[in-house]
Amino acid sequence: MSSDIGTEIAGLRLRNPFILAAGILGITGHTLRRVAEAGAGAVVTKSFGLEPRMGYPNPTVVEVQGGLLNAMGLPNPGIDTLKEEMEEVRKANVPVIASVYGCSETDYAEAASKAEAAGVDAVELNVSCPHVKEVGTQIGQDPDLVSAVTASVKRSVKLPVIVKLTPNITSIVEIARKAVEGGADAITAINTVKALSIDIDVQKPILAAGIGGLSGPAIKSIALRCVYEIHKAVDIPVIGCGGVTTWSDAVEFFLAGASAVQIGTAIMYRDLDIFAELQSGLRKYLERKGFENIQRLIGLACRNEN
């Protein structure tokens, strides 16, 4: 028996459920194409805004126990550069999802419209950057703003709208429900977890920006819990993101209710070979369990709970 590992998110058909996460290799068409050719089922760009942004001074990333801590500060060349990059990434023939951010409802709507005009297949609203004050988390921690931003983007584009949520909040379910109220077609859970690392010799935070966002294996169980809670609470697809490093991590996310998972920090440990490794591990697991496709797995642990 050969199992089907294809999946569908808000009308997007993916050949496999392993999506490149926003923020990794996602600014140029060439790097996005490389990831797609290594086997990703879809790719998400770095978050683009209306204007170019330098980001923070270095150090912007530090390796810590169980993952990476970053405070890049949204460096990006501006959404107007996306159209040209799309020409290159299109050659790989996988869905391209543009991550967009803004400071207001109208910024998000305009950035999403420009992404649509550039030819992407979906937009992912980054309402969850953990440390850039004027954007991201301030929106993602306010349930009514999440709903308003989502609704404003939905009015402006025909593309599927995915909303990426922050875990730095008391109830992620409350925010997920507000995204649904605004018309979200899918939810990505989660962005990075607010965290800190200190250099004991110079006796100050290592990152230039101070506090950053933690990604990688250290946050896997948090992300899994968020997916589980959201899947039980809403009827739209959930994309898991946070610490997926092996095929068995991915299976946990599917069982918790994810229809696909995003891969970011794990690329640092396994290089782009990770995409082929994940596919082969998932296929063998499905065959061993006698499952013809991954749809049978999605949310099974919610239905089987003790």
Residues that are catalytic = 129
CB of 69 to ligand RRO, least distance (A): 9
- Looking at the chain, the number of H-run helices and the number of E-run strands are 11, 16
Letters for 46-85 (x = contact with ligand RRO by CB under 6 A, - = none) are: -x----------------------xxxxx-----------
What element of type H or E holds 126? Answer: strand 122-126
Helical pair 274-289 and 247-256, crossing angle rounded to 10 deg: 60
CB of 101 to ligand RRO, least distance (A): 6
CB of 23 to ligand RRO, least distance (A): 6
Which is nearer to ligand RRO, 60 or 295 (by Cβ)?
A: 60
Which is nearer to ligand RRO, 192 or 259 (by Cβ)?
A: 192
**How many residues of this chain interact with ligand RRO, rule: CB under 6 A?**
14
Of the candidate residues 29, 39, 67, 130, the single one contacting ligand RRO (CB under 6 A): 130
- Stretch of 2-10, 123-131, 195-203, 298-306 lying at the interface with ligand RRO (CB under 6 A): 123-131
293, two tokens: 């496709």
CB 164 within 8 A of CB 178: no
- Stretch of 126-134, 170-178, 253-261, 285-293 lying at the interface with ligand RRO (CB under 6 A): 126-134
State the amino acid at position 253 in one-letter form. F
CB 46 within 8 A of CB 74: no
Virtual torsion, Cα 48, 49, 54, 59, nearest 10 deg: -60
CB of 184 to ligand RRO, least distance (A): 17
CB 114 within 8 A of CB 79: yes
Which is nearer to ligand RRO, 122 or 301 (by Cβ)?
A: 122
Letters for 155-194 (x = contact with ligand RRO by CB under 6 A, - = none) are: ------------------------------------xx--
Task: With CA atoms as reference, report the closest residue to 75 among 48, 37, 97, 102.
Answer: 48
Beta-bridged to residue 151, according to DSSP, are none
170, two tokens: 């008391």
Which is nearer to ligand RRO, 89 or 139 (by Cβ)?
A: 139
Q: Which residues of 232-245 are buried (b: 16+ CB within 10 A; e: fewer)?
A: ebbebbbbbbbbbb
Which is nearer to ligand RRO, 191 or 279 (by Cβ)?
A: 191
Residues that bind ligand RRO in the complex, under the rule CB under 6 A? 23, 47, 70-74, 126, 128-130, 191-192, 213
